[in-house]
Structure 1
Amino acid sequence: MKALRRHGARIAIALVPLLFALLHATDALPIGVLQRLDSIIYDARLRWTMPRTLDERIVVVDIDEKSLAEVGHWPWARVRLAELMDELFDRQQVSVVGFDVVFPEEDDTSGLQQLRRLASGDLKDEPGFVQKLQQLQGSLDYDALFARSLRQRPVVLGYYFTSDRGGRTAGVLPPPVMDKGALRGLPIKVTSWNGFGANIAPIAGATTMGGFFNPAVDPDGVVRSVPLIAEYQDRYYESLSLAVFRLLMGLPTVEPGFPPEGTVPGEYQNLESVRLRLGQKIFAIPVAEAVTTLVPFRGPGGPEGGSFRYVSASDLIAKRIPPGTLKGKIVLVGTTAPGLLDHRVTPVGETYSGVEIHANLLSGLLDNRMLVQPDYARGFDLVVLLLAGLVLALALPLLTARRALVLSAVVIAGIVALNFALYTGAGLVLPLAAALGMAIVTSALNMSYGYFVESRSKRELANLFGTYVPPELVDEMVKDPDSYSMKAASRELTVMFCDMRNFTKVSEQLQPAQVQELLNTLFNRLTDVIRSNRGTIDKYMGDCVMAFWGAPVEIEQPAHYAVKCALEMANAVRRINEEQRARGRAEIGVGIGLNTGMMFVGDMGSDIRRSYTVIGDAVNLGSRLEGLSKVYGVDIVASEATRRQAPDFAWQEIDRVRVKGKEQSVAIYWPAAPAGRIDRAAQEELQAWATFLEAYRAQDWDHCDLLLPELRRMNPKKYLYELYAQRVASLRTLPLDPEWDGTSRFETK
């Protein structure tokens, strides 16, 4: 007890991570980083434990690029789909077919509607025409032909629900599988929508089986689960995967699965399972919140992923597949063609076909290989947090550094081992991030407490900063050292990444001493420019330099200094290139990325090497923007946040992009010059460009084609205009997308 009292401060500090972890676990104070870390852990764990074997029971009939090239653009004439159905059931003898596509509009590719209008209009008095039409309309009604091919066959039609179209509906829904009375009046949370897009009546009436193919998208944009049951106007409908599974089982009834009698409180909001009852047999499918179930992915997706066999739809229509090849198979009809936009981000792939998500879930149902996040997951997390947190907080202050390290490793390993054992042994998905983060932070706080608290002095701190930041800023810090700390802090800063283009190619033509001379010249001049603009140099990385503004010494308008510095650095490289040309040497280029935002800044690293640096999403975005400078052919790329905080420059908006690791798009800009130094011609060019961007984002390609030649005339050497000319030419070939906002997606760093 005496020892505990002596280390009271350290114990109190160690309990802080436990407190925050408990608040997070109870949802009193959700911590986004931990939520994201739990998702990352789940994704990694799923990838490590996937079977990565072929499920020969399920076949994906793929409306792929080859099929579109042979049969024509989608949607196809329904007579082709009727041929596909006849091929699957008559020649191939498949057991079940499920459609991951929807048929919401009538098919008039045969011209039947036009012929009927003529028969009731201009040609109504031509008995021969009317009689001939009556004879032909049976073969020209493609919707009826397709519906006839579905009738009396085990087919599940697909459809989708919506909540973003003002409650609009299209088509006919299949019969629901459950009504509200089955929930016993309990406020069960069920995925709910207010609109739908379903199949037209002739097709929907050909079969009673249908399932929605909407996935459940997590806040980070990743599909990890699928709603098994969804609610629309107090009626409950089944997913495509569940509908196919029920058809295979002999159409059992669907019931809500509650915990044992007497354990359900009045405010109970979640189901334990979805139960399928066929006579006396019951099959229970475990579900999580909102009646969703985690998708047990088998492996990487796509035709080459090795999880499911893919067969091109065109090969079946053309009868290139030998009869009986697919006998007894479960067939899901879907698409991998990029133009049909049925790709999702999943834990096992960033462009994963939607149809294979349903194939994975169906495979898991057939094998009873399901993952579940149980109702008691939160309670489990709280117990682990309390046990591990109290052991670490009370024991670490009493141990030597080596023993404390061993105890921390044992506790962390125990937390991880227990979690993984329950996952692999029972399919239980339990939270791990809060306990893991709490144990690591608690151990780090205890083991570093003495160093950061007891050995620090004001003067030493200021002197130590001199190893990380420019000496001229240290002079200001020494005046008031109490205002500065090396501990990590979250602050709004501006970060810059500057990379030399073509440097490797240039260096290959030089002797080692000449390369050293050129690199020293570059870094000396760029360092002078950064320091003269009050920047802090973070590090040199090969031929790249990283700097930031606003720490450790706070300055007004850090974005202004950063943009001014970037323009001066670009001019400095141009002067160096003049010297290169005078020596007969190749020139080098420069690419600079600027971003302003909240980031962590502080002394970070290992015991061997540390540095005063910045980390965070805002820093990562700055690095991505530097890479984009090469794509758009400009020397500087700045984010919207930087442009907003540096209004005294003339800016040209380059694009709106979604970079790797970010789901939200961001506008990017190029600083043309200080606002007071831009000439009239440049102003007119920027105005013309703004008009072009407006037309581009409105998908007005004709207007774009009128504006681009004028922009090229104004600035013939600007690659940006050539790039957009190529984009417009490519996009013109695609159908207009009402949801497209002009954002460009980049998947590489």
Structure 2
Amino acid sequence: MGRPVALVLLFCLSLLNLCSELPLNGSRPAFVTTLGEMVRDSFGAPRQLLFDQYQRRFPRIPTAQPVTIVEIDDKTLAGIGQWPWPRNRLASLIDAIAAQKPVAIGLDIYMPEPDQTSPDKVADNLPPAAASLAANLRRLPSHEAILARSLRATPSILGAAAFDHSAFATSTDMRSAPIHLHGPDPLNKVQRFNYVLASLPELQAAAHGQAMLNVALEGGTVRRIPLIMALGDKLVPSLPIEMLRVATGSSALDVYTNRLGVQAVGVADVLVPTQPDGDLWLHFASIRSTLNRYVSASDILQGKVDADRIHNKLVLVGLTGSGLTDMRTTVLGELVPGIEIQAQVIETIFEGHFLRRPAWLKSAECAFIMAFGLLIIWYFPRTDSRLARFIRAVPKSSAILGLSLNLLTLYSCLLIFKYFGFLVDAASIFIILSAVMGCFFSTALLVNETRPSLGAAHAQVGEDDRDRASKPPG
């Protein structure tokens, strides 16, 4: 009975494992969708936990620091004023950063509504008796105009947030750089949104780029970040890749696709491999190793920061003050500001240290599981094999053998991660092959347990026969 059960388990579990990693978007047969949703947690959760452990065992060690984060922190808020600031004050910060000649300034901030402290807005709220004052205020430039002038004079990029539903101040489009497509259209493969919360059109027109700030959350943890997304029927970039476009002076981004989806995103001479949905697996560095990239905005405004911290750097401006920032959990178990994740993406691209899980790797895993599983089904039940004799002779040998094989698989996958950056799914290999081996190990244990009982029964029968033979006839 071991072989038929093992064969059924091998094929069924392999199919469920395959379905668990298929993307939710895109067209798929109905039964595949149903199976994928049923087992996504069964195989997906162990897989993600394993990939997290890879990174915790071997976190990325930064070798360069191309990014400086100018943080609007508690110190800045205490000295300059609460958030949101008037737009002219934000313009002063951008001007102070631009004076040190960075290669790009990315704002992890979006401004979809007019500044109510702008002179024209203040004039609108004055009583009729202050008509002369109101007229003078309206002659002054608006705060949006001041900020737009600063954005236009610097290599600036504005952030935006994509939504799949309409909300207050959302729109259906934003200005973005051209994207040159090399291959089939990936609109049905990438994350697709219908609405965006972006800055005012006046500010968008002044900035040198616009980009999405969205990250991919899985169970509350950030593991991947989309480099390319869809807004309606248009492809739009994420903040890290758009900052590189502006920094290199490129007029457009390149997206390389095939029938499976997005393969890579390119800018200038940089090519970043992605998952078919346009996501980048992010190899995290510990926040402890990146704290020196942070500079307080108040120190920038007061001229207390060395020019080396800004000059020729990619500068990110964002909120880290208490209650203002969106904190995110990384695979290292650390709670970091959202802007830190954007910085780590840029840093990873500069280092060229990418984590990869290409489509062929899943196929290779399935082939390995099927080949090794069929080898187990063919070899383990052979009673004349050395393995069978070993299992019968050595107590608990089946458990020792299973544990050794799985530890060897896990160690091999760890080495592949460390030296090549491939995310090999040792968790699914362990689950499926352990189930197949269990069909035969349990049978072997039952045989070992029943043999002494059978021997005792035979001995008892022999003893009864001798007793009857020794008695004189009746």
| TM-score bucket of the superposed structures, by smaller chain | 0.7 to 0.9
Deviation at 1:356, TM superposition (A): 0.9
**Uncovered stretches (5+) of structure 2, i.e. residues with no partner:** 20-31, 451-474
Deviation at 1:240, TM superposition (A): 0.3
Aligned counterpart, 2:87: 78
Aligned counterpart, 2:353: 369
Task: Specify which structure has the bigger relative contact order, considering alpha-carbon pairs within 8 angstroms and separated by 6 or more residues.
Answer: 2
Identity of aligned residues (%): 23
Alignment of 1:463-474 (within 5 A): none
The SS at the match of 1:272 is: strand
What code does the residue aligned with 1:320 have?
K
Partners of 1:130 and 1:335 in 2: how far apart? Answer: 33
Alignment of 1:491-506 (within 5 A): none
Deviation at 1:254, TM superposition (A): 2.1
What code does the residue aligned with 1:208 have?
H
Deviation at 1:134, TM superposition (A): 5.3
Aligned counterpart, 2:23: none
Deviation at 1:284, TM superposition (A): 2.3
What code does the residue aligned with 2:263 have?
E
Alignment of 1:247-646 (within 5 A): 247-251=246-250, 253-258=252-257, 268-276=259-267, 278=268, 282-299=269-286, 301=287, 304-306=288-290, 309-397=293-381, 398=383, 399=388, 400-401=390-391, 402=394, 404=398, 407-409=401-403, 411-451=405-445
Quick check: 1:215 aligned with 2:223?
Answer: no
CA deviations on 1:237-283 (whole Å, 9 max, x unpaired) are: 11001101112222153233135xxxxxxxx241222233x4xxx53
Partners of 1:53 and 1:444 in 2: how far apart? Answer: 44
Deviation at 1:406, TM superposition (A): 5.8
Q: Given that residues 71 and 317 in structure 2 are in contact (C-alpha distance below 8 angstroms), is that contact kept between their aligned partners in structure 1?
A: yes
Deviation at 1:350, TM superposition (A): 4.8
Match of 2:105 among 87, 90, 97: 97
The SS at the match of 1:258 is: strand
Deviation at 1:439, TM superposition (A): 2.7
Aligned counterpart, 1:60: 69
Partners of 1:186 and 1:351 in 2: how far apart? Answer: 33
The SS at the match of 1:108 is: coil
Partners of 2:292 and 2:11 in 1: how far apart? Answer: 46
What code does the residue aligned with 1:144 have?
A
Partners of 1:177 and 1:94 in 2: how far apart? Answer: 24
Q: Cα gap change, 1:56/1:269 in structure 2, threshold over 3 Å: closer, same or farther?
A: closer
Partners of 2:304 and 2:138 in 1: how far apart? Answer: 35
Aligned counterpart, 1:156: 157
Partners of 1:186 and 1:131 in 2: how far apart? Answer: 53
What code does the residue aligned with 1:78 have?
R
Aligned counterpart, 2:121: 113
**Uncovered stretches (5+) of structure 1, i.e. residues with no partner:** 1-8, 260-267, 457-749
Q: Given that residues 371 and 427 in structure 1 are in contact (C-alpha distance below 8 angstroms), is that contact kept between their aligned partners in structure 2?
A: yes
Q: Given that residues 384 and 415 in structure 1 are in contact (C-alpha distance below 8 angstroms), is that contact kept between their aligned partners in structure 2?
A: no
Q: Cα gap change, 1:78/1:405 in structure 2, threshold over 3 Å: closer, same or farther?
A: same
What code does the residue aligned with 1:291 have?
G
Query: Normalized against structure 2, the TM-score is what?
Result: 0.80
The SS at the match of 1:104 is: coil
Q: Given that residues 298 and 307 in structure 1 are in contact (C-alpha distance below 8 angstroms), is that contact kept between their aligned partners in structure 2?
A: no
CA deviations on 1:600-621 (whole Å, 9 max, x unpaired) are: xxxxxxxxxxxxxxxxxxxxxx
Deviation at 1:333, TM superposition (A): 1.2
Alignment of 1:665-704 (within 5 A): none
Partners of 2:53 and 2:186 in 1: how far apart? Answer: 36
The SS at the match of 1:296 is: coil
RMSD: 2.9
Q: Given that residues 221 and 328 in structure 2 are in contact (C-alpha distance below 8 angstroms), is that contact kept between their aligned partners in structure 1?
A: yes
The SS at the match of 1:147 is: helix
Partners of 1:317 and 1:257 in 2: how far apart? Answer: 42
Q: Given that residues 254 and 266 in structure 2 are in contact (C-alpha distance below 8 angstroms), is that contact kept between their aligned partners in structure 1?
A: yes
Aligned counterpart, 1:646: none
Partners of 1:291 and 1:163 in 2: how far apart? Answer: 17
Deviation at 1:405, TM superposition (A): 5.1
Partners of 1:250 and 1:62 in 2: how far apart? Answer: 26
Q: Given that residues 211 and 239 in structure 1 are in contact (C-alpha distance below 8 angstroms), is that contact kept between their aligned partners in structure 2?
A: yes
Query: Normalized against structure 1, the TM-score is what?
Result: 0.52
Aligned counterpart, 1:657: none
Q: Given that residues 174 and 208 in structure 1 are in contact (C-alpha distance below 8 angstroms), is that contact kept between their aligned partners in structure 2?
A: no
Q: Cα gap change, 1:81/1:236 in structure 2, threshold over 3 Å: closer, same or farther?
A: same
Q: Cα gap change, 1:353/1:130 in structure 2, threshold over 3 Å: closer, same or farther?
A: closer
Q: How many residues align?
A: 423
The SS at the match of 1:133 is: helix
Partners of 1:198 and 1:150 in 2: how far apart? Answer: 15
Partners of 2:431 and 2:107 in 1: how far apart? Answer: 44
